[in-house]
Chain A
Amino acid sequence: MTTYVYGIANSSHPALPDGMEGIGKPACPVRILKQGELAAIVSDAPEDLKPKRRDLLAHQNVLSEAGAAGSVLPMRFGSLAPDDETVVSVLGERADHYTERLRTLDGKVEYNVKATHNEQAVLHQVLAENPELRAMVEANQRQGGGSQEQKLQLGEAVTSAVRAREASDAVEVRRALEPTAEAVADGPESTGWLANISFLVSRKSAEGFVAAVDELRTTQPHLELTVHGPLPPYSFVDPGPAGPAE
């Protein structure tokens, strides 16, 4: 029977999600495997497991539940062991490493921040900063939009100005929030964001982090910031949390 692994925690974790509904349909109940000081959060794995939305959610929910009450190392989605014995032996073989990671991450959570531009606001901003661009826009507007040639010229210049803003704003988001975090990791490349950055934040200083986000919203009103957290520390499970976990 294949065993699905959600994450690794300390045996002493106060509230492991034993019996919670896990992946699969019907949901496989979550079980806890213990080996010395460590515990693995597992369940049976349905035959032919695929990354369906329901299962992704179940993975995230089980880890949220475990992470809410104590330190947990989240597995990447879809980790399958041939059986329970294999999981237990891995816990035994690498006990030192996992124990160290759990200790390091104890009391810390991940906040993921994604930033996009408010298009109207950023356009006003680049026009305010570039008199030439503004003059082009005014000229085009006077001519009811201008010729195709003029539109392309203007569009190219504006695109380049907005892209430059995207790059500098990504740096700004990181710079503004970094001081309130213990570690920073660039999120996976995904589309549609000018920044996708994860911050490792101590639970005790989460308020400070949230306040820094609010401050950034105030000082950079053309930025739209989405914050997700507290999350299990997906991006910080490996040593050297300054870089993405590979």
Chain B
Amino acid sequence: MPLGTLQFTIDGITVQTQEGQSLIAACDAAGLYIPRLCYHPDLRPAGNCRVCTCRIDGHQAAACVTPVRDGMVVENDTPQLNADRLALIEMMFVEGNHPCPYCVASGDCELQALGYRLGMTAPVYPFFWPRHEIDASHPDIFLDRERCIACSRCIEASRMPDGKSVFSYEGRGIAMHLHVDGWGGLGATQMAAIDKAAHVCPVACIVIRRDGYRIPNGQRRFDKTPIGTDIEARRKAPPS
């Protein structure tokens, strides 16, 4: 085994990876899908949503912020872990307002797609029905905080690739919400439609104006194959 290479098992499958990789990145490269929401491969992991939680050497930990160790034993696709993930997804659905039937992101939404993949069929918890005004002050982007799941992807993207710090959180606990750095809303910030932060939202909180519904039904990201299929295809593809 080359120097710097580590080996671990996940659901009984042996995976080799390089030192310094996170568990979720190593599994992505190996074609093994770990469900996730806040994790984005181009951004620094935050461990916010806990959907990627796996059982690692007998303890539960978020795969996005756990570095791979040599010889670690990981459980990922188990009934209990998937039930826990489903509960997390259900809670996210009721904490915000997610009207999938008419949402501009339907078919392209990672929260909705994960709900389908994990078998969510009906709401279990009572709805919170939060009230948030749309921030339509920006000419090219609108902000619909009713959809926000507090993943922090936009915060991270705005700080690092964009170098702008447009977004942050304000408030604590259940009252925490997405804040923009500008009196008068998003239109008063340096945000631009080409920014990375405008394109990493997993739901429909940050939306490019007037682009909605341009892609027909049946032709969106998750219309034909479940979320994670692209990652799993890497494992199934024949060696080149």
Partners in one complex: no
Residues in chain B within 8 A of chain A (CB atoms) = none
Residues in chain A within 8 A of chain B (CB atoms) = none
